[in-house]
Amino acid sequence: MQDKRTLYRHDRFGEGWVQDWLVLGPIFYGYADFHHDRSEPAAAEIDFLAGAGGQGAVRPKQGDSVSVQGETFEWQAWRSDEFSIDLEKAFKAACDQLRKEEMVERSFLPQGTAWRVAYCCVYLDSDRDQEVRLWPAAVNYHLWVNGRAVWAPLDFLNVNRLLAPNNEQFAVPLSKGVNIVLLKTAGGSAYDIPAPLGLRITGSSGGAVEGVRVLTDLPEERQPLHGEPLWPFPQPEPPAAGQSPRVEQRGRFTVLRIDAGQFSGQSQTRMLFEDSTPAYRYERPGTIVFAPATARFTLDQLPGSPTGSADQDQKAKNRCLFHLHGARYGWPWTPEVPTEPGVEKQPALEIKVNGQMINDVRQPGSVNHHQGAHPFYQMELIIDMPPELLRIGENTVSVDLVEGVDFDPRREPIFALDLCLFTETDGEFTRVPRVCHAGRPFYIKLLFLQPQTIESIEGGDAIRSAVQLPQQLEAGEHSLAFEAVHPASDVDLCINTNRGSYRTRIPFICSVADPDAIKFSVLITQSSYTGSPDALRLETDIVNDIELGNAVTPRSLLANGTSAEIGRQLGAVIKDSGLFFNTHWHIYHGYTRLDPAKTQFDQKDLDEWTGGLLLRDGTRRPDPDAFMADSPGEFVDRFIEKLKETYGGKYRLAFHTNQMWYRYGAAAGACEVWIQIGYVSTEMALSAKRGTARAYDIVLGCSNCEDNAFIHNGSVQEQRIITLHDRLCYMGGCTDFLTEGMTYPNRTGTFLPHCRGYDSFGYSRKILAIHQSFWDFLRSRDYWDGPQPTLGFVMGRYDLWDGSHQTMRGWHEGCYEPGAALGFLQHDVNDGLATHWAPDAPEAGYELLDVIYPGIRFGLDYPKGPPVRRQHWFQPSPHGKADLVPEEATVAKLCRYPALIFPGWNSATETQVSKLAAYVEAGGTLLMAVPQLSTGIERDSEINLVNQGDLTELFGVCIKGRGAEISAIRQGDKLVELAGHPSRKIHVADAEMKGATPLWFAGDTDTPVLVENRIGKGRALLLTLWNYPGEEKLLPLMRGLVGDLAREHQGPVRFSGSEWVNYSVFTRNGEPGKVPTVIYFIGIDWWEMDAPEEQAVLHLGELAMPVTMPRDDMASVTWCGDLALGAGDKMVFVERIESTGENIEAIVQGTGLQSFRFVLARCKEPRVTLDGRGLSVEVANGVSTFECRLAGRHLLSFETGAI
């Protein structure tokens, strides 16, 4: 008998996870899973194990081989360290080989996404006959138990694309003895392999399973059982008489949740219609037959009518939403065709409630319709259903084919059904802003079910009504205009009509210089705006109503041939909404390339029609054609030229994930640098784009990319990740945000006007709250200058490092593939297949970034499942922020950085040297190495130094050539042996001193290795070696040198007491501490759950202030001169701090009861007043605290007479 092992317990996902597997694959299928013309069978239909007896009969042992399509695969044992098995690791050797072969055959997936199939097998030894539950956690899968098909749909469909623990369950019998469980999975992604998968086993009640052990291989003495397929499931029994669905009360909503458990004691899955899940079954191989499905539920009373009466007036006020989880928005369920914007046809499936069809819905806003967008979002269907269809007693919901409609059946699962019911009153507020701005208009919305006349409005002196009174309004929704007069909070508003009074409260009115200084864009995905201005209007109305941002970005693309009239209508919708607008008019893989000959309007027209609200033209970047270059110089020149051709002089965005694209995209004319946070190290990406944006004076933008970077399971860690994405981008200097995560509340009904805030997905509601909170923060303060940099890492002339690790080959190898710059597609150009140079010491120099951002990782680590351990996305910043700065920046731009370090390749020019000399003379510190002063533009050329080696002007030395090999470097009295591979030789440069001062020496000699030259107010450091700083033997010394420079130029702000702090310094255009300065900080340890916060000490010059560092949001302290002041609520805005002689005054804005902490230099008994009223101050551990109630804008005065 083989080894027996227990099941794995995961802290968050529960116990019972299989870790020991036999795996087979990856088996290449093709470039698409489903062929719509059925010209080829889908991957799900093919039995790839036919040569070994078939999927239902296979009994593999470790080492068994299987022949598939002329290739031989071997079953191998694999033990996972986590609850899921990472197939990328399990099949690493095979995948690497396949990628090499494919690169020769194709250029960037011309036929679509590659699909591969894998099989995973586990043997379970049970000590009894028993029923258990299996919980597969996978994107696409088939499941067999003892040869019986438990789940085997016709097609694989990327339901969530990623791993989803505890999403589905199956009740299956295990026999006493050995049982076989076989999983088949397939996937198509940039990795070209299936995503991770897992399998959880529990008892029949969902608790721990007893008497089951995992075998690491098939024992000889037992053969697995076989039998007839369990799928499709048997017809469930109807519920018992009087049984009602589960009722959830959420505020004004009553939600009746109906799932598999309501209709069947089997509880085999979470699907609603178990008798036909999916809605199609196999009658014989290759034939599909639709099986109609009916579910029944009982209502004891009608919603909104406690007595169950049939009062017509009361019934007219009820609203009912019919919500099918798992059903697509569009056709075949509703008339809209998602893949053909603007096309409608009769639904192929009919949904009937008590015999009446409800899904033949065609007016905008009545149903989710998500046309022309990513199909993996189309997984919810919400319909505004007439409530009178419901009745007391038994109700039925049925799904069937529409007779006579041409429909090629596909899998259409339904996970659960919600009936959301609520009652509307005669009049109610449907929009009340959370944040208003003094001196600017705002709107509220009222819904009247009956005509009413507004007779008077009461709102105090903080707001002014623009409504002419009296005003008679018909039934329906109405916008009422007001103007905010001055800062205030909790402003009572009463609207009196002839039918009654309606009261609400305006939470906060603030005063900031420009409320639109930061753009916060909402990704709207329900409708295609092409040809549908009405749908766009509905969505912009909702964005305004729920105050989620000041801009919108439709996911859908503008189609070729869109008429100018439609363009004008779209522009008018945006102009009326007051929201900034981002088009989606770029090339994206698999979508239509814009054809100028067929387009009837352009960017200028749309900008005019929107009233100047066009923010960006496109959120994707076009790619040049592939090419191979012979030198970095040729590569950069050709690349920029190709970008200019592709931009065509009108595209307004650079959108990428590596530093090279930012820089050269900006050089080609892009107006903004952009990043999808979540693919790569956040600080690396932010540093790269921040340096480019500052060098080219263009906008800094970011997208959190959480809609597809993570599968949401609702964990606290995941919420912290989403929070950190936004907050760190703000702290990193971004002024343009795109909330892709709003796809989830979008998808579950938030943006449907008839939903009125209904959202059945709990995690979706949490996402909405996170982003609303962040938007409230952004628009309640002025944006200051920041973050202030400590260091600048200079991207040299013709530097091709693209953000990957030095062992990964990519653009810096001299070859370009369209799309490869996304990082995770670099396998198309790596693995040694390119014929040009390999990454080497120049690229390795960027590892010095780990000094300023400890723990930084390079390359892309796209998350293929929920986070199960710490990952590399976030880093602390113990020395503040650093930028990756393009060398072409002007002297004035370079002077922003106290110190500049060249880490990698540079092709020097005399002009560049003169510019750097001017930077140093102005007070900067510069660090370079001799090879970075070579003029060569070819990678393997000899070092030919600028000015024939005469570097007197900048470094005070003259380099005559290469000197002797060395093995040690002396720093003062310390001798450091150079450790590393013996093939990597370190040579000194033959240097003649022309005024420079030697700092380091070669071994015991007087030969200089590092020299310093003072120019004006600054100094220039030169590593006088014939090697780049990234040489393996030099990196430890270089890390120490960079660390010394970081500490020297860090400035007066630093933290102690925590290794997890990430902070940024913003000022009002001046030196920190001498002008009002705000320090934002956050704890980036999102993984630990022991405490939601930790303590640290903030040092501000001579001041030291203990602070509480949150892990789920950022905090701030504002500092100027002798006072440092922080509030417990991030929404409090410290507008100004200034000294007025004996007092220090602070202007603050906020609302509600607030707690403050402050330190006041040399003051033992501080006294504080709020608008002249004394406050109670407590002093402990050197920090003073007080509480006060804020109601808008206030003056805090700190008496300094005791100093």
**Per-residue pLDDT at 1142:** 81
Predicted confidence band of residue 930 (pLDDT cuts 50, 70, 90)? very high
Are residue 1019 and residue 1115 in the same domain, yes or no?
A: no
Structure confidence by residue, pLDDT tens digits, 218-272:
665 444 333 333 332 222 333 333 344 556 665 666 776 654 333 322 222 233 3
Structure confidence by residue, pLDDT tens digits, 541-565:
888 988 989 998 876 656 666 788 8
Q: Of 144-158, 343-357, 400-414, 697-711, where does the model show the most confidence? A: 343-357
The strand ranges marked E within 729-770 are 736-739
For 380-392, b where at least 16 C-beta lie within 10 A, e where not — what string? bbbbbbebeebee
**The domain that contains 342 carries what CATH number?**
2.60.120
In a domain, 748, yes or no: no
Query: The pTM is what?
Result: 0.80
Predicted confidence band of residue 656 (pLDDT cuts 50, 70, 90)? low
Least confident segment among 126-140, 182-196, 203-217, 927-941 = 182-196
- Provide, rounded to the nearest whole percent, the portion of the chain with pLDDT above 70: 69
What is the mean predicted confidence (pLDDT) over 170-193?
77
C-beta of residue 498 within 8 angstroms of C-beta of residue 452: yes
Are residue 410 and residue 281 in the same domain, yes or no?
A: yes
C-beta of residue 661 within 8 angstroms of C-beta of residue 639: no
Least confident segment among 17-26, 428-437, 1145-1154 = 17-26
**Per-residue pLDDT at 509:** 96
In a domain, 760, yes or no: no
Q: How far apart are CA 294 and CA 274, in angstroms?
A: 10
Structure confidence by residue, pLDDT tens digits, 792-807:
999 999 998 877 654 4
DSSP H helical segments within 1030-1129, as ranges?
1035-1049
Q: How far apart are CA 512 and CA 13, in angstroms?
A: 45
**The domain that contains 992 carries what CATH number?**
3.40.50.880
In a domain, 555, yes or no: no
Q: Of 145-159, 425-439, 793-807, where does the model show the most confidence? A: 425-439
Give the residue, 1054 or 548, on which the prediction is more confident: 1054
**Per-residue pLDDT at 992:** 96
Q: How far apart are CA 1186 and CA 298, in angstroms?
A: 57
Residue 755, token pair as written in the block? 């939903």
Residue 545, token pair as written in the block? 């109503």
Are residue 208 and residue 97 in the same domain, yes or no?
A: yes
What does pLDDT average to over the chain?
A: 77
Q: Coil, strand, or helix at residue 939? A: coil
* Domain count for the chain: 6
Q: Is the pLDDT of residue 746 over 90?
A: no
What is the mean predicted confidence (pLDDT) over 31-42?
46
Closest CA to 477 of 539, 434, 430: 430
Are residue 412 and residue 433 in the same domain, yes or no?
A: no
**Per-residue pLDDT at 366:** 63
C-beta of residue 668 within 8 angstroms of C-beta of residue 843: no
Closest CA to 945 of 997, 906, 902: 906
C-beta of residue 159 within 8 angstroms of C-beta of residue 139: yes
Structure confidence by residue, pLDDT tens digits, 309-320:
333 343 346 678
In a domain, 1126, yes or no: yes
Write down which residue in 404, 423, 442 finishes a domain.
Answer: 423
In a domain, 226, yes or no: no
Residue 294, token pair as written in the block? 């009916």
Residue listed under structure tokens 């507008």 = 1135
Q: How far apart are CA 665 and CA 654, in angstroms?
A: 6
Residue listed under structure tokens 């084919």 = 401
C-beta of residue 909 within 8 angstroms of C-beta of residue 933: no
Are residue 440 and residue 415 in the same domain, yes or no?
A: no
What is the mean predicted confidence (pLDDT) over 126-133?
90
Q: Is the pLDDT of residue 893 over 70?
A: yes
Give the residue, 1124 or 311, on which the prediction is more confident: 1124
- Domain with 1098, as residue range(s), is 1053-1199
In a domain, 121, yes or no: yes
DSSP of 949-986: GB-HHHHSEEEEEEEEE-SEEEETTEEEE--S-TTS--
Are residue 402 and residue 445 in the same domain, yes or no?
A: no
Q: How far apart are CA 883 and CA 977, in angstroms?
A: 31
Are residue 452 and residue 330 in the same domain, yes or no?
A: no
In a domain, 1006, yes or no: yes
Are residue 850 and residue 720 in the same domain, yes or no?
A: yes
**Per-residue pLDDT at 663:** 86
Are residue 918 and residue 993 in the same domain, yes or no?
A: yes
Phi first, then psi, for residue 910 (nearest 5°) are -65, -35
Are residue 197 and residue 316 in the same domain, yes or no?
A: no
Write down which residue in 841, 860, 879 finishes a domain.
Answer: 879
Q: Is the dihedral of CA 657, 782, 520, 729 positive or negative?
A: positive
Least confident segment among 609-618, 1034-1043, 1135-1144 = 609-618
Write down which residue in 1011, 1027, 1043 finishes a domain.
Answer: 1027
In a domain, 1038, yes or no: no
Are residue 397 and residue 268 in the same domain, yes or no?
A: yes
For 1111-1122, b where at least 16 C-beta lie within 10 A, e where not — what string? bbbbbbbbbbbb
Structure confidence by residue, pLDDT tens digits, 676-707:
776 678 898 899 889 999 999 999 988 876 64
Q: How far apart are CA 1028 and CA 842, in angstroms?
A: 6
**Amino acid code (one letter) for 1061:** V
Least confident segment among 22-26, 571-575, 662-666 = 662-666
Work out the angle between the directed axes of helices 564-577 and 533-545 (0-180°, nearest 10).
10
Q: Of 165-179, 409-423, 911-925, 1161-1175, where does the model show the most confidence? A: 911-925
The strand ranges marked E within 218-284 are 246-250, 253-258, 280-284
Are residue 1116 and residue 1010 in the same domain, yes or no?
A: no
Phi first, then psi, for residue 861 (nearest 5°) are -130, 75
Structure confidence by residue, pLDDT tens digits, 950-982:
999 999 999 999 999 999 999 999 999 999 888
**Per-residue pLDDT at 549:** 92
Residue 507 falls in which region: left (phi positive, over 0), alpha (psi -120 to 50) or beta: alpha
Q: Of 99-108, 324-333, 606-615, 819-828, where does the model show the most confidence? A: 606-615
β-pair partners for 484: 463
